Chain A
């Protein structure tokens, strides 16, 4: 198990490659499908014996799927909490899964664009993550994998309510479609609050980590569908994609305005961010995310020759706490992590020169 994770830690997820549409602003997009087995009690209420049998059935179906037969099967119970944390940081498992538990598995395909959690809140949680804004592609892939799995599984389904889930917020399509956006210009110009509010009136959910006052902290936001029942999957995808596109356009405009008005100031900020990153010997997560976010904007505006969005995308994930520890092969104190994080960043940035 340790070997598999070590291997993962040494390579980056394919969806970080920034080769998708609008990847300068849309970090990634994701489709998740929730499914349960017909004759089995759902995981929140199931006995161990039921969870065991359900997991066996699903693992068998997985092994017969062309899409997943090469995938790794990872048992949550065989992992340390740092190892589970590592999978969370890579967006492969949920917070709930980091608690471990019997008969809980992650199935993950090479490249990490396709993965599956077994016995999370629902028996099956299928996930596709792609670079940039290509949600329809993500849906089509998850649809095909779902079809293949279904050839060997009977899903809990009722005509009026669709796919049945443990939580009523997922019933129907069982689908959550989302995009993760990098919106530094809308954040800096304080337009983000109103935009998030108007998005939420369209039946979508907007969420984000944000800083206090003017201090930005990464400037990342997520848009996803709220309702899962009553719409076709394509309609849900279309809604999220359309609204995401609108926000992307607004961010583009805001970036151009920033650039025109304050080119010197922006260039100064980029230079300072770069200067700190390439010279620091202690770097907290927060500071790193904040500075890398600035560089990411700089690359988009061509203020940082030699850099690519891809390198920055990968850096965000190379410096998360569990990633650092898995790669190092041991537990590290927060101080040692800050030290190692600074080193990883310095090495990566100097290699770009």
Chain B
């Protein structure tokens, strides 16, 4: 088998990644593997094949839509973010939130953060965060038909507001 990058030398380095039952394989020769920092090594954990191979198509938006906005903090527009596949700052997330919401749904599924919340930060926003988290718990309690717990959460939220 020939190397997938240079197409000239015999591939001696084989890498496999499986996501959602979809296999991606990468076969490289020593030279190209070395170029990617991968040769002669005993397993490199931070290496992701999908990062290396996947296009940034997820960032695509319908061609008819033109986004004029620029992030007020870092000055990026959406075309730049899409081209690099990297977001610029916190305000980017807010400025382009409609597009990023679609993108995140594609990558992460339809979901909201339910993990750790920073302890410190500004006091007011910490309370907001707390209320937000309680609301999420409330939604879940209602969904699971745990009405006693829901009533309790409702009281807690009222107490904070």
Contact = CB atoms under 8 A, between A and B. Distances in A.
Nearest to B81: A45
Given A172-B115, A209-B15, A230-B114, A159 B120 contact: no
B146 to A, nearest CB: 17
Contact of B94 (A95, A158, A166): A158
Contacts of A286: 12, 40
Contacts of B12: 286
A121 B142 CA distance: 39
Interface residues of A, number: 79
Nearest to B22: A200
Nearest to A32: B46
A230 B112 CA distance: 5
B112 A196 contact: no
Contacts of B38: 95
A151 B120 contact: yes
A68 interface: no
B115 A217 contact: no
A336 interface: no
Contacts of A229: 104, 108-109, 111-113
A164 B90 contact: yes
A200 B36 contact: no
A103 interface: no
Contact of B118 (A121, A155, A167): A155
A197 B18 contact: yes
Interface string A193-212: 00011011100011111111
Given A155-B121, A157-B118, A167-B87, A197 B21 contact: yes
B147 interface: no
A169 B103 CA distance: 10
In this complex, the member of A44, A161, A227 whose beta carbon has the largest number of chain B beta carbons within 10 angstroms is: A161
A167 B112 contact: no
B23 A230 contact: no
B89 A161 contact: no
A98 B40 contact: no
Contacts of B89: 36, 40-42, 45, 156
Interface string B113-153: 11111111110000011001100000000000000000000
Contacts of B128: 159
Given A88-B44, A147-B119, A161-B113, A205 B108 contact: no
B98 to A, nearest CB: 13
A78 interface: no
A77 interface: no
B63 interface: no
Given A230-B108, A231-B115, 9 more contacts: A40-B89, A158-B90, A166-B86, A166-B88, A167-B85, A168-B100, A200-B18, A229-B104, A317-B42
Interface of A: 30, 36, 38-42, 44-45, 85, 88-89, 91, 93-95, 98, 121, 143, 146-147, 150-151, 154-169, 171-173, 175, 178, 180, 196-197, 199-201, 205-212, 217-218, 220, 222, 226-233, 236, 284-286, 289, 316-317, 320-321
9 contacts: A38-B90, A150-B118, A151-B119, A159-B129, A168-B103, A172-B115, A173-B113, A230-B109, A320-B42
Q: Closest 7 A-B residue pairs measured CB to CB? A: A230-B111, A162-B113, A94-B46, A229-B108, A200-B18, A44-B86, A173-B115
